[in-house]
Amino acid sequence: MIFGGGMEKAHDVLIRNLCEHTALAPEEIAEIRSLTFTQRDFAPNENFVHQGDEPEHSALVVSGMVARYHLLGSGRRQYLAFHLSGDLPDSQSLFIDQMDHGLSALGQASVAFIPHRELFAAFRRRPNFALAVWRETLLDASIFREAITNNSARPMPARMAHLFCELFYRARAAQLVRSNRCRLPISLAQLGETLGMAIATVNRTLADLRQSGTMDLRDSELIVLKWRELQRLGDFTPAYLHLKRQSPPRL
Amino acid sequence: MIFGGGMEKAHDVLIRNLCEHTALAPEEIAEIRSLTFTQRDFAPNENFVHQGDEPEHSALVVSGMVARYHLLGSGRRQYLAFHLSGDLPDSQSLFIDQMDHGLSALGQASVAFIPHRELFAAFRRRPNFALAVWRETLLDASIFREAITNNSARPMPARMAHLFCELFYRARAAQLVRSNRCRLPISLAQLGETLGMAIATVNRTLADLRQSGTMDLRDSELIVLKWRELQRLGDFTPAYLHLKRQSPPRL
DNA sequence: CGCCTACTTGACTTACTTCAAAAACAGTGG
DNA sequence: CCACTGTTTTTGAAGTAAGTCAAGTAGGCG
Supply the pLDDT for residue B1. 39
**Sign of torsion over alpha carbons A71, A77, A80, A84:** positive
Supply the pLDDT for residue A111. 97
B141 alpha-carbon distance from chain centroid: 12
Task: Tell me which residues from 194 to 213 on chain A have a beta carbon below 7 angstroms from nucleic acid strand D.
Answer: 199-200, 203-204, 206-207
B159 alpha-carbon distance from chain centroid: 18
Q: Which of B67, B9, B14, B3 is nearest to B39 (CA)?
A: B3
In A, which residues are within 8 Å of B76 by CB distance?
A: 153
Residues of chain B short of pLDDT 50, as ranges, are 1-5
Start-to-end Cα distance in chain A: 42
Q: Which of A227, A144, A193, A217 is nearest to B152 (CA)?
A: A193
Separation between the CA of B125 and the C1’ of C13 (whole angstroms): 63
Strand partners, A47: A104
Separation between the CA of B152 and the C1’ of D15 (whole angstroms): 22
Separation between the CA of B162 and the C1’ of C27 (whole angstroms): 43
Please report which helix (H) or strand (E) contains residue B221, including its range: strand B221-224
Cβ separation B147–A149 shorter than 8 A: no
The answer to whether some atom of strand C lies closer than 7 Å to the beta carbon of A200 is: yes
Strands B47-49 and A109-115, bridge-based pairing: unpaired
Q: Give the gap in angstroms from C-alpha B3 to the nearest C-alpha of chain A.
A: 31
- Alpha carbon distance A237, B6 (integer Å): 41
Cβ separation B135–A95 shorter than 8 A: yes
Interface probe for A, chosen from B148, B165, B202 (most Cβ of A below 10 Å), is: B148
- Alpha carbon distance B146, A148 (integer Å): 9
Supply the pLDDT for residue B8. 66
User: For every one of its 251 residues, what pLDDT tens digit does chain A have, with 9 covering 90 and above?
Assistant: 344 445 569 999 999 999 988 999 999 999 999 999 999 999 999 999 999 999 999 999 999 999 999 999 999 999 999 999 999 999 999 999 999 999 999 999 999 999 999 999 999 999 999 999 999 999 999 999 999 999 999 999 999 999 999 999 999 999 999 999 999 999 999 999 999 999 999 999 999 999 999 999 999 999 999 999 999 999 999 999 999 877 777 77
CB A70 within 8 A of CB A78: yes
pTM (global) more than 0.85: yes
Counting every residue written for chain B, the total comes to 251
List, as own/partner pairs, every contact residues B22-31 make where C-beta atoms lie below 8 angstroms and the sequence separation is at least 24, other chains included. B22/B128, B22/B131, B22/B132, B22/B135, B24/B128, B24/B129, B24/B132, B25/B128, B27/B126, B28/B126, B28/B128, B28/B129, B28/B132, B31/B122, B31/B125, B31/B126, B31/B129
- Alpha carbon distance A175, A169 (integer Å): 10
Neighbour tally for B213: CB within 10 Å: 11
Supply the pLDDT for residue A248. 72
Q: For residue range B17-38, list pLDDT tens digits in order.
A: 999 889 999 999 999 999 999 9
Q: Which of B195, B196, B217, B198 is nearest to B206 (CA)?
A: B217
Give the orientation angle of helix B199-211 with respect to helix B188-195, to 10 degrees.
100
Supply the pLDDT for residue A5. 44
CB A137 within 8 A of CB B137: yes
In B, which residues are within 8 Å of A100 by CB distance?
A: 142, 145-146, 239-240, 242
Half-sphere exposure of A48 (CA within 13 A, CB side): 28
Residues 8-67, chain A, touching B (beta carbon < 8 A)? 52
Instruction: List the domains of chain A with CATH numbers.
Output: 7-148 (2.60.120.10), 155-241 (2.60.120.10)
Q: Give the gap in angstroms from C-alpha A87 to the nearest C-alpha of chain B.
A: 16
